[in-house]
Amino acid sequence: MALVGEALLSGSIKVMCDKIASGQFMDFFRARRLDHSLVDKLKVKLMTLHAVLNDAEEKQIVNRAVGMWLDELKHAVFDAEDLVDEIDTEASRRKAKDQTKKTQVWNFLSTSRKPFNYKGMNGRIEVLFNKLEDLANQKDILGLRGGVVGKVSQRTPTTSVVEDGFCTYGRDGCKEKLKALLLLSDNESSSNFSVVPIVGMGGVGKTTLAQLLYNDEQVKEHFDSNAWVCVSEQYEGLRVIKTLIEEITKKPCDILEMNYLEVQLRQQLMGKRFLLVLDDLWNENYGDWDRLRTLFTYGAKGSKVIVTTRSRRVASIVHNTIPIHDLEKLSDEDCWLLLAKHAFRNENPGAHPDLVEIGKEIACKCDGLPLAAKTLGGLLSCNLDYKEWNHILNSNLWDPPHADSVLPSLRLSYHYLPTYLKRCFAYCSIFSKDYEFEKENVILLWMAEGLVPQAENEKAMEEVGAEKFT
C-alpha cells in the first residue's frame, strides 16, 4: 500500500540519519580512509527531502506528478537504507572483532559473512547522493513545502481560536449535549472539578468540537478562568503547567522550576470556577495525571476540564464523574457541506452545477472524517474543473484492493502519528489480509527489528511495545 511505503520513508530516513551520525559509523569511515564528507552530504540531502514528506503525502491525492516523485524517492531511500545498513553491519562486525577476537561469536561472524567490498564504496555513495539531489531539485518544481528539518512529522500545535462565523456540520447535537454538562454546578459531586473526555480517531473533529465549546459565549460567562493547552504526543508536565499559568494570567512566565509552577497554578485556580482544555492528550502514565489532577482540586465546585484524545485508555484514566463521549463520524451529507465550503471558498456551489454531484460522491469517500473533507476541499479548490474532479473521484487512491492505494481518511489519520509508530504500523503490512496475529508475537518481532525504543525508566521493552497497541 502507498501508505505503508510513506510510513517506511519517514521512519527509514530518521533511522538512517541516526546511524550516520553515530560515532561508531564515522570512526569506521575514518579508519578505512573512506570519504566521510560524502556521508555527511548524504545525510543533509536525506533530511532536506524528509522535510517535504508531509506536504507531498497530501498533495499526491490530486497531483499525479507528486505521486510519481514519491515513488522515485521510495526507491532511492530504500537503496540508501541498504547501503547504510551494509556499512553499519560491517562497522559493528569490526568493533566485535576488536573486542572479542577469540570468541565463538567472532568465529561465527568471520565464517558466515560475505567479504565486505571497500572498493567503489565512495562511488556508490556519490551515485546515491546525485539521485537524491535530482529529487530535491524536483521538489522545488513541484512546489513542495517543508517545515523545520527533523520535526516535520510533529503535529502543528492546536489553539483555541475558531474561525469567525464558523459553521458546524453535524455537530450541533454533540455541542449542546456537552455544553449542558459544562454548565452543571456539580453540587452533588465529591470532587470540585469534572473531566469531560472526548474520544475519537484522528481527523474526526475532537479539537474543533472543543474549540466550539471553549468559545461559546454562555460557557465563557459561566467560568471565572479558562485556559487551553495542546499537550500532543510527548507529555511535558512542566510545559503544560507553565502554559496553563500563562493562559490564565495573560502574562509570560519565565520560571522553569516545577515546584514553583505547581504552587503558582494552585494559587491561580484556588476558589475559582475554571474551564481548562487539554487537547490531544496521549500520555497514559497515571502518576503524571494524578499530579496534575491534584492541582485542579483547588478550584471551586463546577470547574471542568475538557480532554480530547484518540486513546480510550487515556480517557479511562482521566474521567471521574462524566461519561466518556465517543465522537462519531459525520454523515455523507455533512461531509459534502464541509467539503463544498472549502472547495468553493464559501461561494454558492450552485454556480458550478457540473461539480455538485461529483463532489457529493467524493465526499462519500471521505468516510465521515471532517479532516479528510476539509483537506480534500482545500485541494479541490485549486482546480474547479470537471475533468480534474472526475479524475480524483475515479482515482485508484480510493480503491482498497488496489496495490498502490489507501483511503485518504486513513492517510490523514496516519499522517500525525509519531515516527516510531509509523514504522511499527508499516511493519504490520508483512502479514496477509485477515491474518490473525498474536499481540505478544508482534511486539517481539518489533523488538527484533529495533522498532521499539528503549524506555528511559525501568520499563521492559515488552511493556513499551505493548503500549504501542493502545
Query: How far is Cα 59 from Cα 349, in angstroms, rounded to an integer?
Result: 23
Note whether residue 351 is domain-resident. Answer: no
Q: What is the pLDDT of residue 281?
A: 95
Predicted local distance difference test score (pLDDT) of residue 469 = 64
- 13 and 93 co-located in one domain: yes
Task: Give me the residue label for grid cell 468516510.
Answer: 367
How far apart (Å, rounded) are the C-alpha atoms in residues 150 and 16?
Answer: 12
Mean pLDDT of the chain: 80
pLDDT surpasses 70 at 461: no
Residue showing cell 460522491: 361
Q: Decide if pLDDT at 346 tops 90.
A: no
**412 located within any domain:** no
pLDDT value at 178 more than 90:
yes
- 28 and 145 belong to one structural domain: yes
Q: Are residues 60 and 194 in the same domain?
A: no
Q: Which residue has the higher pLDDT, 18 or 76?
A: 76
Based on the domain organization, do 215 and 90 belong to the same domain? no
- Cα dist from 74 to 53, 139, 186, whole Å: 11, 14, 55
Q: What is the length of the chain?
A: 470
Relative orientation angle of helices 419-427 and 2-21, to the nearest 10 degrees: 130
pTM: 0.62
Whether 167 is covered by a domain: the verdict is no
Stretch 267-282: mean pLDDT: 96
Q: Give residue 397's pLDDT band: very low, low, confident or very high (50, 70, 90).
A: low
Question: Higher confidence at residue 28 or residue 212?
Answer: 212
What gap in Å lies between CA 366 and CA 169, rounded to an integer? 14
Residues contacting residue 250 through CB under 8 Å, at least 6 positions apart: none
Integer Cα distance of 179 and 213 in angstroms: 6
Ranking 244-258, 320-334, 430-444 by mean pLDDT, the lowest is 430-444
Separation of CA 126 from chain center: 33
Q: Give the per-residue pLDDT at 125.
A: 82
Asked if pLDDT for residue 326 goes beyond 50, the answer is yes
> What would the pLDDT profile of 119-166 be if each residue is shown by its tens digit?
677 788 888 888 988 998 998 888 887 753 333 334 567 888 887 666
Q: Output the CA angle 354-358-362, nearest 5 degrees.
A: 150
Last residue of a domain, one of 153, 181, 202: 153
In this prediction, residue 4 carries a pLDDT of 46
Who has greater pLDDT, 110 or 373?
373
pLDDT over threshold 60, residue 84? yes
| Mean pLDDT across 377-385 | 84
Last residue of one domain, picked from the residues 153, 181, 208: 153
Does some domain include residue 261? yes
pLDDT at residue 142 in the model: 86
Number of structural domains, the chain? 2
Decide if pLDDT at 3 tops 60: no
* Highest averaged pLDDT of the listed ranges 61-65, 178-182, 233-237, 430-434: 178-182
Domain of 139, in residue numbers? 2-153
Q: Which residue has the higher pLDDT, 31 or 294?
A: 294
pLDDT, greater one: 454 or 278: 278
Same domain, 240 and 303: yes
Q: Give the pLDDT of residue 226.
A: 96
List C-alpha distances in Å: 422 to 67, 318, 417: 19, 26, 6
pLDDT tens for each residue of 350-373: 888 999 999 999 999 888 989 888
Which pLDDT belongs to residue 104? 52
The verdict on residue 341 lying in a domain is no
Residue 245 within any structural domain of the chain: yes
What single-letter DSSP state applies at residue 470? Answer: -
Provide, rounded to the nearest whole percent, the portion of the chain with pLDDT above 70: 78
Q: Is the pLDDT of residue 217 over 50?
A: yes
| Strand ranges in 192-295 using DSSP code E only, listed in sequence order | 193-199, 225-232, 274-281
Kindly state whether residues 147 and 16 are assigned to the same domain: yes
Helix axes 2-21, 408-415, angle to 10 degrees: 20
Examine the pLDDT at 216 and tell me if it is beyond 70: yes
Q: What are phi and psi of 78, to 5 degrees?
A: -65, -35
Are 44 and 126 found together in one domain?
A: yes
Residue of 453 and 342 predicted with greater confidence? 342
Q: Is residue 241 part of a domain?
A: yes
Are 7 and 148 in a shared domain? yes
Task: Summarize pLDDT for 402-458 with one digit per residue, the tens.
Answer: 333 334 555 545 654 566 677 787 778 777 766 777 888 888 888 877 777 665 555
pLDDT tens digits, 119-128: 677 788 888 8
Band of pLDDT at residue 200, cut at 50, 70 and 90: very high
What confidence score (pLDDT) does residue 468 get? Answer: 63
- Secondary structure, 3-state, 24-66: HHHHHHHHCCCCHHHHHHHHHHHHHHHCCHHHHHHHCCCCHHH
Do 246 and 238 contact (CB within 8 A), yes or no?
no
